Each structure stands twice: as C-alpha cells, then as structure tokens.
Amino acid sequence: MKKPEVAIVGIGITKQAKSMDTNTIQICQEAVQKALDDAGMNMAEVDGIAARWPGPGGTELDPGVVDWTGIFGKPFRWVGDTYPQGIPGLLDAAAAVSFGLCNVAIVFGGQAGVLKREHLADYTQPTNEFVEPWGLFTAAHFAMVAQVYFQKFEPDRLKMSYIAAEIRNAGAQNPEAVMYEKGPYTPEDIIQSPKIAEPFHLLDLCLATEGASAFIITSTERARDCPQKPIRILGGSSEWYRQQYVNPVRYDEVKNLGKEAFQRAFKQAELGVEDIDLFELYDINTWEIVRQFETLGLCDEGGGSDFLFENGIGANGKYPTNTDGGLLSFSHTGWGGPNLKVIEAVRQLRGQASGFQVQEAKHALVTGAGSGAQYFNAAVLSV
C-alpha cells in the first residue's frame, strides 16, 4: 500500500440543533456551499459526489426521492452510494480521486425537519419483525454488548463516567455544539442521570439532532492552489461484520471490531498510535470510547476506564478525545453524523477549532460506528 495523494480541501458545517425549521435537502445544500467557499471552488469543478444516491429519501424510486444531478443542475463523473457518510464516504471518495474516476469529490449529509421533540428518532428503531416487537432500539443493541463487558470486568463506573463528563464538558465550551453551556458535568452527574438501557444512563448516550456537514476531497496537486491548508488522508480501512441492528450482536464476536482496520490504516499511513495527537472517535456511548482505546492496544481489555481516567482525554490530557463535544454533546445528524468526526479533525489540524484547540496537532485518528453496529471504520488524517 502506498500513501494516497489525496487531501481534504474544504469543509462546511451548518448550524446544529435539536430540531430545525427547514428540510434535509436545503440544509445539505447549505453545507455544500460552505464547503465550496472554504475550498475556493464552485460546483462546476465538482465531478464526484457521495451523498447517498439517489437519497436522502431512500434508494427506492418513491416520490420525493432526490436526484442530486437535478438539485445541482449538472452531471457527475463519479457517484458513491455510501452508507453511512463519514469515513466510508471519505475513503470511497479518496479512492475515486486516486483512481481518476473524478477530480474533485464532495461528501455530505445531514437531516432537518425530521426529528420530533420528545420522541426517539425513527431511524434508531428498526422495523425488522425480529427486532421491533421486543422494544429494541440502537442504544439497546449496544447496551447488550456492553453488559457482557460490565459483568466480566466490573469497570469502575465513576472512572468510566469521567469520559462522558469530559467529552460533554468540551461541548459545553463549544459555541457551535448543540449542548453549548449545558454543563459542566462531574462523573457523579453521569451516574445520577436517568437509566435508559442498562448499563447506560441518559448522559452516556449520544444525541439525535439536526444539521448538515460536507467536505471536499481532491488530489494533493490541486490542493496546493486551495486557500486552506490541505489535510492529507494518509490511510484508512473498514470492517463490515454483519448487517446492523438485526441479528443479535455479541460482545465475544465484536469486542475487537476495528483492530484490523486500525492496523491497516496505521500501516498505510506509516504511523503508529503513539503518533496520534487527536482522537475523534465515534462516541455513540461512553463505553464505546473505552472499547476503542482497548482495541487500539493502548491498554488491556477491561482496563480502558482506568487507563483513560489516569491519562486524561480533555484539553490537557494525554489523549485529547472528541474535542468538539462529540456525538454526546456537539451533534449527531443521523446518516450524516459520521461526517462530523472528519470535520472536527480538519478544524483541529488547521488550528480552526470552534471549541478548545489542541496545540500543534499533526496527526488525527477518526473513527466511525462500533461494536453494536457490527461495522467499524478508521482513518488517519494529517497536516
């Protein structure tokens, strides 16, 4: 494997909120325009698109389904029907540019006008006939994986809660986070929040919010003429274990999900985990952060909570993690939510963080999904 000669040259992010008085297409278009402005480009130059095709609205030919060529009034050379967005979208687009299928690819996603307050988001409740009758939802799948870990290793609940508190406190200081000024939280606050799906409490779990984000990928050669510092995509890999949220997902089968993806991503990047300055990890719940650090090999299975508590994951910690407030506090916009990890990594590496800024960060690790989803992906980004 050789290092790909591709870079992220533009990012765009709209306002993020619990619910918005607009629609998915408009909010996505807004993010696209911001990314184009950031890259110093216009849509005429974009010839690749990964935004779910022909979605959002589903891939069936139902009324209301989006044809992005129709929205943007132009044809494309490359179309990625990438689900979800985030790292799979990033890597697909990087591959498309590397192979010459397109010169400039835009990856975007988000949602608006779809979430109703006080209700679980529809997309977290699959309608599968062997799932729905039991009252299962996304957090419950993850909870059943975590429960086995909790029984086996009996982690210190207060130390694990430090992780949620620290990530949420980063969001509380970030004016762009949905949960801005919500906090600060102590580990005790996390444990004292209502139980939702044991072993998880309310403050252990990610948000379901609205907003959109976009990023633009092109060759390092073209990137030299863009106004922003290019952020290189040095390596990345994915693991697809099973279809998500249908068949029972088991701790013993998915506990190391991501291990191989990490190894491949680091090998391609010619870096090791010790070179990473910034961890933008998929924090669908507190425990997934612990599992990912264990899978990275930085600590033993069962020892992640103690390890992170002792080393620190905040602004002054050894492993700055989810610096924008993460999915717990910044935002999680459904199928477009995984993009937010890439956006925050780019902002940090450029020195343009909206929340706290990690000084002189050079290499970032970004991840997507996790054990309960039965797939995982990782990428290494660099200035």
Partner 1 sequence: MTPDNPGMLTTKFWDEARNERLVRPVCGRCNTSFFSPQILCPKCQSGKWEFQKSTGKGSIYSYTIIHRPPDDDYPNPYIIIDVELEEGWRMYSRLIDCSPSEVRIGQTVKVAFQVFKGKMLPFFKVEED
DSSP class of residue 245 equals: T
CB contact at 8 A, 31 and 214: yes
Return all residues near 327 (Cβ < 8 A) that are at least 6 apart: 206, 207, 282, 283, 284, 337, 340
**Among candidates 316, 329, 310, 381, which has minimal Cα distance to 350?**
381
Which strand (E) or helix (H) includes residue 197? strand 195-197
Residues linked to residue 10 through DSSP beta bridges, in sequence order: 216
Rounded to a whole number of angstroms, the minimum distance from the CB of residue 201 to partner 1 is: 9
Nearer CB in complex with partner 1: 224/250: 250
Structure-token match 């979208």, residue found: 89
Considering the complex, state which of residue 88 and residue 199 has its C-beta at the smaller distance from partner 1. Answer: 199
3-state helix, strand, coil in the chain (%, to 5): 40, 20, 45
Nearer Cβ to partner 1 (17/246):
246
Select 101 or 246, whichever has its Cβ closest to partner 1: 246
CB of 246 to partner 1, least distance (A): 7
In whole angstroms, how close is the CB of 338 to partner 1 at the nearest point?
Answer: 23
Question: What's the closest the beta carbon of residue 144 comes to partner 1, in angstroms?
Answer: 4
Helices (H) and strands (E) in the chain, counts: 13, 11
Distances (CA, A) of 358 to 170, 220, 316, 319, 363: 12, 25, 8, 10, 11
HEC profile for 261-319?
HHHHHHHHHCCCHHHCCEEECCCCEHHHHHHHHHHCCCCCCCCHHHHHHHHCCCCCCCC
- Binding-site ranges for partner 1 (CB under 8 A): 120, 125, 128-131, 133-137, 140, 143-145, 147-148, 151, 194-199, 246-248, 250-251
Cβ 244 to partner 1, closest distance in Å? 13
Q: How far apart are CA 143 and CA 132, in angstroms?
A: 16
Least Cβ distance, residue 181 to partner 1 (angstroms)? 25
**Nearest residue (CB) to partner 1, 252 versus 274:** 252
Q: Which residues contact 183 (CB under 8 A, 6 or more apart)?
A: 168, 169, 171, 172, 329
Nearer Cβ to partner 1 (254/271): 254
Nearer to partner 1 among residue 42 and residue 128 (C-beta): 128
DSSP lists the bridge partners of residue 6 as 219
Q: How far is the CB of 127 from partner 1 (least distance, A)?
A: 12
Task: Give the residue with the Cβ less far from partner 1, 1 or 130.
Answer: 130
Q: Min. distance of Cβ 121 from partner 1 in angstroms?
A: 12
